Amino acid sequence: MNTIEIIEKVSVEVTINGQRQRRDVEPRMLLVQFIRDELRLTGTHIGCDTTYCGACTVLLNGEPVKSCTVLAAQADQCEILTVEGLEQDGKLHPLQEAFAEHHGLQCGYCTPGMLMSSVALLADNPSPGRKEIRKGIAGNLCRCTGYHNIFKAVEAAAEEMREGADHGHQI
Amino acid sequence: MTWVGKSLRRKEDDRLIRGRGLFTDDELAPGMLHLYILRSPYAHARILDVDVSAAEALPGVACTLTGREVAELCDPYMQLAPGPAANIRDLPMAVDKVVYQGEPVAAVAATSAAIAMDAGLLIEVDYEMLDSVMDVEQSLQDDTVLHDAAGTNRVWHGVFDYGDVDKAFAEAAHVVRIDRLHFHRYSSTPLENNACVAEWTRQGTVEFLCNNSFPGFAQQLLAPGLRLRTDQLHIRTYDVGGSFGNKIWNYVYMALAALASRKAGGQRVKWSEIRTEHLLASGHGNERTFLDTEVALDANGVLTAIRSRHLDDCGAYTRYEPLGCVIWSQVTPATYGIRNLRIDFTQAVTNKCPVVPNRGYSRMQHLWFMERVLDICAHELGIPADEMRLRNYIREFPYETPNGCIYDSGNYPAMLDKAKALIGWDDWQKKQAEARADGRLLGIGIGTTLDSGTNNFGQAQIMNPDLPFSGNSEVATMKLDLEGQIVVCLGTGPSGQGHETAASQVVADELNISPDSVYVRPGFDTAWNTFVGHSGTYASQFAVTGLSAVHGACQKLKAEMRRLAAFMLEAAEEDLDFCTGEEGPELRIKGTDRAINYWFLSNLVNNNNAMLPESLADVTLNVRHVYRPPFKVPDTERKFGNLTLTYAAQLHIAVIEVDRETGRPKILAYSAVDDCGKVINPKIAAGQVHGATNHGIGAALMESFNYDEIGNLLTSTFSDYCPITSMNIPDVQYGNIETPSPFSYNGAKGMGEGGGGPLHTIAAALQDALFAEGIIIDDSHHSPSRVFDRLQEPNRDRRVSVRSG
């Protein structure tokens, strides 16, 4: 007869989009479930079960990670940024603006992950060429746009961020 | 100011870029249960026993479901097929046997998704494995029958015979015979999996939040399946993360969530499919084999006749099928003037995942076939690819095809010119000559595709004359709300196509206001009374059906507003203008400053109506318009009639080099020209073209559902299925032309399904690269290993023969 042992919960405390949050969760809980189900930030999506699609991408201590492949417990005491944290003081992040302006999204399901990977890309490389943009979002699937307009949106946002250093975004 | 035709930024984006959309899986509520579906590891097996006792004993489990229970609580879904296949018992869960890997055999609802899965793994199922039927030709032998109630694996058979085929063959200058072509199995796999939240209320109704993309159809299957009336179902969608047709039959799973809620005493139950489930068991595109094709041509290489046998593999259940057995005939001659065709069409079940409409549904398989035929003939007769097309293209529009379809408008030669200019045709011709001199394998291919839109459901009667379907319709409701806002509801239930924005553009033009003043409710909701049986987003039709419905609703609302305003302003109706004044939208007496605004009009009806005369008693400022295209029931005996209203077209050119050592095909250049008639929102239309092109390139070079001989799906995760990424998509040169449709009020054609374009084009480019190696491109999928195998074993001698004179 199979039995399942009930394991005690672990405490996870994170700073997410600038806010301190603590929850007691099952040790097996994934970070993406923690973000979506415990903290109710449902902008971060789930699109696969093999760390392939990147819909769940968030920044963990500034690094892009696929939050379906990180345990919530591993994120304890970390800083997390999700799509909900991109807009600051009512002002959209230049990448958010550019994705809308250049039609870099259709159904919008990949968009949060795509935005977070792009944020990380531009933090690393403010002037990426087309090849570097392709590589920067290679871990993020989009099934609607054919990527064409996403490339254009990232290029436009990069330009905006270089030229308008005063756009006010700290990200 | 005219808004239609502008690249307006999408309304939908405001929430989606902020992560504030509402996708079904985002719904979470206290006490909600989560459903786990246990699926068959076998493709074909008898179920001897299902033991759920250990699962039910696990703390947190609310209930389980087995096939036997489901069979007691449900009626099998209505089958569309005539004859023996009508007896297939399609229930949401397997009862006595499973017929494909991934078919549901049991389910558990528990307080968390993790506990539900834990419990699911405690369910013990005893199976007795049966022989699997993995090939359509083997299936038709009926040695092993999947559905005992049908007694045969053959689902449908019909002959489509037009013109005088035998005479054309007797008079032919050349006859080309192609023994076998194969269109592979793939799907466009939306990034959001299927999901639903169901609540079987104590009042006996069922509330659904879901991501079904054809809810008009789904509710007509779900309600009788659950033994309810359609008005007892409340179905709504909000944001849907792509569908491409694939979410049309997720109603099968919606029933399981509803039954679990019922058994759990009415608690809400959420089912969120995981990706592996999606790839295993949520619908694949139709796989088709083309046998014994013979093509008659005149001395100039003009196609005069085709006869061929087509076998469609629909997987384990028919579901939306066998509609695909007729849908392809919307584009019977493709873009060519051929008048004599005899297609013998058969569909059969196999132990694979059931098929589902997939972007370009059924037409692209046929168009791929027609393009292969034309392209192989061009190579065999030594006619250049572009010249071959120009000799065969239809040039006069409207054009009646041999089976009675009316191509509304088009200009294929102009598209070819544009695609050539975009890619630099002459330059590539030179480079090709150089490459060939160096022994390199470089090919240039052309693919012409039709995206027929706005179905005449009367074609269902060609498949089964007893089906009560014909015509088409879509609905929009529109009101001037209490504070004077314009509120529009659509029946279409979009999944990323920007319907809120496009509808706003139409309304803004009609009322002469800003699109910002128009609120289009997201999603679909049966409670709005904004649905007909055809409601949904499928078959490339929104620009025609959806927007015609919105346009019609505008006329009705405007007529009411005009009557009210004329009364209040003591003016003649014809003296009133719809315009935007200093305080916003209003009706104004021409040439004066006397006006009445929308709030005042709405208030007159809704709050302050004692002064209204009897003559305005019928004014509600809440209108509903149903658009019906002008279709007739086809002649089902002759399989003849107009099956679709509009014909958008795509013309692609690809340059591909094949690595002789590894077989790897690499796209060196690609151009894509689209014609969808008058464009409503160029940005949105271009986005559809980009996406469809992406799907087609992915399907041709990467994506394929591969089964082993006993029915294991070998590509059941994204890691194995390899959806196309940003690293694989080439830089595509996009362009468009506009040939307005004479059949839609706005000149637009439905569009978005040009997914097949790259499949034809890439096959043609590979053909051009490899013909000299003695290779005929006979499959739609070109992985490096397949191309490598072809290079080792050329097939031209056994695939093709030519008889001239």
pLDDT at B794 over 70: yes
Residue A2 is predicted with a pLDDT of 56
Report, at the CATH architecture level, how domain A94-162 is classified. Answer: Orthogonal Bundle (1.10)
Burial grade of B238 (CB within 10 A; 0-12, 13-18, 19 or more): buried
Name the residue of chain B whose CA is nearest to A108's CA.
B16
The strands making up A79-81's β-sheet, listed across from edge to edge, are A19-25, A10-16, A79-81, A57-60, A63-66
Chosen for mutation from A144, A145, A152 (greatest number of chain B CBs closer than 10 Å) is: A144
Contacts of A84 in chain B (CB under 8 A): 18-20
Query: Inter-chain contact A50–B729, Cβ cutoff 8 Å?
Result: no
The span from the CA of B542 to the CA of B474, in Å, is 9
CATH number of B474-529+536-627: 3.30.365.10
The span from the CA of B458 to the CA of B645, in Å, is 12
Residue A1 is predicted with a pLDDT of 47
CATH number of A10-84: 3.10.20.30
Chosen for mutation from A17, A103, A130, A135 (greatest number of chain B CBs closer than 10 Å) is: A103
A21 in contact with B, Cβ within 8 Å: no
Half-sphere exposure of A162 (CA within 13 A, CB side): 12
Name the residue of chain B whose CA is nearest to A1's CA.
B54
DSSP, collapsed to helix, strand or coil, labels residue B83 as helix
CATH class of B155-187+283-458+634-796: alpha beta
Residue A5 is predicted with a pLDDT of 62
Contacts of A110 in chain B (CB under 8 A): 191
The span from the CA of B770 to the CA of A98, in Å, is 43
Contacts of A112 in chain B (CB under 8 A): 19
Contact predicate B133/B44, CB 8 Å: yes
Residues of chain B with CATH 3.90.1170.50: 13-130+191-242+247-281
Query: How far B437 CA lies from chain A's nearest CA (Å)?
Result: 31
Contact predicate A26/B60, CB 8 Å: no
A118 in contact with B, Cβ within 8 Å: no
Contacts of B496 in chain A (CB under 8 A): 106-109, 144
Put simply, the chain A residues between 30 and 69 with a CB less than 8 A from any chain B CB are 36-37, 40-50, 52-53, 55
Query: How far A89 CA lies from chain B's nearest CA (Å)?
Result: 13
Going by pLDDT thresholds of 50, 70 and 90, the confidence category of residue A164 is confident
List of E strands, B15-171: 33-39, 45-51, 61-66, 97-98, 104-110, 124-129, 154-162
Q: Which of B28, B495, B693 sits opposite A37 (nearest CB)?
A: B28
Going by pLDDT thresholds of 50, 70 and 90, the confidence category of residue A163 is confident
Q: Which of A47, A138, A149 sits opposite B275 (nearest CB)?
A: A47
Q: Which of B16, B59, B188 sits opposite A108 (nearest CB)?
A: B16
Contact predicate B576/B587, CB 8 Å: yes
CATH superfamily of B13-130+191-242+247-281: Aldehyde oxidase/xanthine dehydrogenase, a/b hammerhead (3.90.1170.50)
The span from the CA of B290 to the CA of B309, in Å, is 6
Query: How far B174 CA lies from chain A's nearest CA (Å)?
Result: 41
Query: Inter-chain contact A148–B734, Cβ cutoff 8 Å?
Result: yes
Query: Inter-chain contact A108–B684, Cβ cutoff 8 Å?
Result: no
Query: Inter-chain contact B19–A53, Cβ cutoff 8 Å?
Result: no
Give B252-291 as a 3 state SS string: HHHHHHHHHHHHCCCCCEEEECCHHHHHHHCCECCEEEEE
Q: What is the pLDDT of residues B249-296, one digit of tens each?
A: 999 999 999 999 999 999 999 999 999 999 999 999 999 999 999 999
Q: How many CB pairs under 8 A join A and B?
A: 185
Percent of chain B clearing pLDDT 70 (strictly above) = 100
The span from the CA of B117 to the CA of B114, in Å, is 5
Query: Inter-chain contact B718–A50, Cβ cutoff 8 Å?
Result: yes
Contacts of B188 (CB under 8 A, 6+ apart): A143, B242, B244, B245, B246, B285, B358, B359, B695, B699, B755
Which residue has 């990467």 as its token pair? B702
Query: Inter-chain contact A106–B242, Cβ cutoff 8 Å?
Result: yes
Residues of chain B with CATH 3.30.365.10: 155-187+283-458+634-796, 474-529+536-627
At B727, list the tokens: 């690293």
Query: Inter-chain contact A103–B497, Cβ cutoff 8 Å?
Result: no
Contacts of B729 in chain A (CB under 8 A): 146-148
* 3-state helix, strand and coil shares in percent for chain A, rounded to the nearest 5: 35, 15, 45
Going by pLDDT thresholds of 50, 70 and 90, the confidence category of residue B583 is confident
Mean pLDDT for the stretch of residues B758-780: 98
The span from the CA of B205 to the CA of B583, in Å, is 45
Query: Inter-chain contact A103–B275, Cβ cutoff 8 Å?
Result: no
Going by pLDDT thresholds of 50, 70 and 90, the confidence category of residue B96 is very high
DSSP, collapsed to helix, strand or coil, labels residue B465 as coil
Contacts of A106 in chain B (CB under 8 A): 242, 496-498, 687, 691
What count of other Cβ atoms lies within 10 Å of the Cβ of residue B337? 17
Percent of chain A clearing pLDDT 90 (strictly above) = 90
Contacts of B73 (CB under 8 A, 6+ apart): B226, B227, B259, B262
Q: What is the DSSP string of B621-645?
A: SEEEEEE-------BTTTTBS--EE
Query: Inter-chain contact A111–B495, Cβ cutoff 8 Å?
Result: no
The span from the CA of B594 to the CA of B575, in Å, is 11
Contacts of B684 in chain A (CB under 8 A): 103
A159 in contact with B, Cβ within 8 Å: no
Query: Inter-chain contact A103–B729, Cβ cutoff 8 Å?
Result: no
pTM over 0.80: yes
Query: Inter-chain contact A107–B496, Cβ cutoff 8 Å?
Result: yes
Domain boundaries, chain A: 10-84, 94-162
Residue A6 is predicted with a pLDDT of 61
Name the residue of chain A whose CA is nearest to B121's CA.
A2
Going by pLDDT thresholds of 50, 70 and 90, the confidence category of residue A3 is low
A91 in contact with B, Cβ within 8 Å: no
Query: Inter-chain contact A55–B191, Cβ cutoff 8 Å?
Result: yes
Residue B567 is predicted with a pLDDT of 97
At B272, list the tokens: 């969120």
Computed over its alpha carbons, how large is the radius of gyration of chain B? 28
CA-to-CA dists, residue B670 to B243, B758, B779, angstroms: 26, 9, 20
Name the residue of chain A whose CA is nearest to B727's CA.
A134
Contact predicate B338/B392, CB 8 Å: yes
pLDDT at B7 over 60: yes
The sign of the dihedral angle between the CA atoms of B759, B765, B766, B767 is positive
Q: What is the DSSP string of B195-229?
A: EEEEEE-TTS-EEEEE--S-HHHHHHHHHHHTT--
Q: Which of B118, B275, B495 sits opposite A107 (nearest CB)?
A: B495
pLDDT at A7 over 80: no
Q: Which of B14, B28, B691 sits opposite A146 (nearest CB)?
A: B691
